[in-house]
Amino acid sequence: MGETIRKDAAVDDIIADGNTTLNRARARGGDWQTGAELRLGVVLGLAAMIDARLVAAKAAAAPALAALEVSNQSADDLLGRTSDEVWNDIGRPANDVTYDLLFPGGFAYYAAGDVHGQPDRMDMLAELLRSGIHPRLPAERAAALAAEVSASSASLRALVATAEPLRARVELATKMKTAVAHATQLALAGLKRAWKADGKSEADIHAVIPDRPKAKRAAATTPATPGAPPSP
All structural domains of the chain with their residue ranges: 11-205
CB-based burial label for 10 (10 Å; 0-12, 13-18, 19+): exposed
Write the secondary structure of 123-164 as one string of H (helix), E (strand) and C (coil).
HHHHHHHHCCCCCCCCHHHHHHHHHHHHHHHHHHHHHHHHHH
Give the pLDDT mean for 176-189: 98
- Asked if the model's pLDDT at residue 102 lies above 60, the reply is yes
- At residue 231 the predicted structure's pLDDT band, cuts being 50, 70 and 90, is very low
- At residue 214 the predicted structure's pLDDT band, cuts being 50, 70 and 90, is confident
Q: Nearest-CA neighbor of 129 among 119, 121, 141?
A: 141
CB-based burial label for 34 (10 Å; 0-12, 13-18, 19+): exposed
CA distance 114 to 204: 52
Q: What pLDDT digit, counting tens, does each position of 119-178 carry?
A: 999 999 999 999 999 999 999 999 999 999 999 999 999 999 999 999 999 999 999 999
- pLDDT score for 217: 62
Any idea what the Cα angle at residue 83 is, between residues 64 and 87, rounded to 5°?
165
